[in-house]
Amino acid sequence: MSGGLLVAGTTSDAGKSVLTAGICRWLHRRGVKVAPFKAQNMSNNSAVVVGPDGRGGEIGRAQAMQAAACGLAPDLRFNPVLLKPGSDLSSQVVLLGEAVDTITADSFRTLRPRLAETAYAALAELRAAYDVVVCEGAGSPAEINLRAGDYVNMGLARHAGLPTIVVGDIDRGGVFASMFGTLALLDPADQALVAGFVINKFRGDLGLLQPGLDMLGQITGRPTYGVLPWSLDLWLDAEDSLAYGRVLGRPAAPRGTDWLDVAVVRLPRISNATDVEALATEPGVRVRLTVEPAELAAADLVVLPGSKSTVADLAWLRESGLADAVLAHAAAGKPLLGICGGFQMLGRAIHDPVESRRGSVPGLGLLPVEITFDPRKTVRQSAGTAAGDVPVRGYEIRHGYVSSAAEDLTPLLTRADGTGEGAVVGAVHGTHWHGAFESDEFRRRFLTEAARLAGRTGFRVAPDTEFAAARERSLDLLGDLVEEHLDTDALWRLVESGPPAGLPFVPPGAPSPTG
């Protein structure tokens, strides 16, 4: 068979990514050869994939997570177009893993036909190779101002004849209005592909919700395929919705007598914030994303994460007062970690004629390195060791490189070729490697040292925490939720047979898209 399904949403962050992953895991467990697909993703949270030519390329991290749900290694075709916002007005375009351009809204219109052609070709290849391809939409299909050039939502569904389900987040409120409105704003040909709905993040008595589901079915002629409950355990591999002040996950009680409090600065253009999720899997470690200087002052460990716009975010750090809080934290001898863009900020100077084009700007001066940006982007998987014998794996996505460093600089890591990576000066640590803390032994050693530097003598790492196993448990939970709470027989009929015939039109509808 060559089945397919499009998971669309009433809004961004409605649950498309997790529902897609859950359906993928459900199908995978049934023995179906299934793959994920997102024609275009807009996210600074990306994963490195080794392409067929041996070079590293980028796809959205959600598609890498969905690939794992399918039991697959990531493939560049799973997310052929990735837009990485560098500001409110421009984005870097990554096409089949390779950064090819930086665009504005106006220039995007010119490039869009090429992007759509690439996306359609990738989907065709996947449908020829797999039994089922589960596609994820982007934003909402009812963004009627963008419909004429759409190749991600109903444009994709129309092109490939995909049955579509619309997921709505009930936690936001107004879910019935948003689902009805999403359908009613589509033109007749698009509506004919929308088979039904899924409610996400429900808490409470399902009996109180049922009358609304029944009425929605009556006025739209479409069923609700199920209601997914709210689950606090679904927080790994988040896209770009990490909230201010939120503690990641549900931290388990400490193995010792002390907690370790970690404050992660939520930069305006934060990238790969999922780096800190590995820290949050450890018992006794509380990880919070914040923009409050006071929370940095109270933290044991402060993390400066990656950034798509290092120089601009460094300026914001100074303007917000957070830079002073970071400097005070370091001056107190408490541990500080910079990852990729955060590492670059900790240096003496940044020379950037590429990303911000602001030339040379002073860094925070906490590490004896200078960073220079190169037009060629480094995208690769990396492996090495820490402390001589601790294996570490990670990945790199960056334009900046260390162009100058003190001769006696102590590296944080050692690459497989024996060269140093990153830096350590006292309690200040920095590395360009994303994903390094998913290496269990390295994470434990780092947190043990961070606790010592912070004076948390009663903190103990757990010897049995495995990040990869935690990720698998999360994917299995998604599959369980789909099996237990959705009408999987009806979903399978959609996948196997396509959109049901005779779905009614819901007025007023939008004009047919052109262009």
Long-range contacts formed by 373-382: CB under 8 A, 24+ apart: 373/399, 373/400, 374/399, 374/400, 374/401, 375/399, 377/99, 379/48, 379/55, 379/56, 379/57, 379/58, 379/97, 379/99, 380/48, 380/55, 380/56, 381/48, 381/50, 381/56, 382/415, 382/416, 382/421, 382/433
pTM score, whole prediction = 0.92
Q: pLDDT at residue 242 above 70? A: no
What confidence tier does 244 reach under pLDDT thresholds 50, 70, 90?
Answer: very low
- Per-residue pLDDT band for 459 (boundaries 50, 70, 90) equals very high
Domain boundaries, the chain: 3-234+471-497, 260-461
Residue 159 bears catalytic tag = no
> Among this protein's residues, is 70 annotated catalytic?
no
Q: Return d(Cα 272, Cα 293) in angstroms, integer.
A: 22
Q: Quick one: which of 327, 14, 299 has its CA closest to 179?
A: 14
Q: Among 46-55, 293-302, 318-327, whose mean pLDDT is lowest? A: 46-55
pLDDT at 243: 46
pLDDT at 13: 84
What is the spatial distance between Cα 87 and Cα 97, in angstroms, rounded to a whole number?
21
Q: What CATH number has the domain spanning 3-234+471-497?
A: 3.40.50.300
Q: How many angstroms separate the CA atoms of 65 and 97, rounded?
A: 16
How do strand 349-352 and strand 301-304 relate by DSSP bridges? unpaired
Least confident of 1-5, 237-241, 270-274, 454-458: 237-241
Q: Which of 279, 333, 303, 212 is nearest to 470 (CA)?
A: 279
- What pLDDT, on the 0 to 100 scale, is given for residue 193? 97
340, 399, 429, 485: the catalytic one is 340
The Cα-based distances of 369 to 77, 165, 419, 476 in angstroms read 37, 51, 16, 43
Q: Which of 399, 429, 434, 485 is catalytic?
A: 434
What sign does the dihedral 150-154-156-158 (CA atoms) show? negative
Position 159 confidence tier, pLDDT thresholds 50, 70, 90: very high
Mean pLDDT of the chain: 92
Q: Give residue 325's identity as a one-letter amino acid code.
A: A
Per-residue pLDDT reduced to its tens digit, 486-498: 999 999 999 999 9
CATH tag for 260-461 (out of 3.40.50.970, 3.40.50.880, 3.30.930.10, 3.40.50.1110): 3.40.50.880
pLDDT digits (tens, 9 = 90+) for 251-290: 889 999 999 999 999 999 998 888 999 999 999 999 999 9
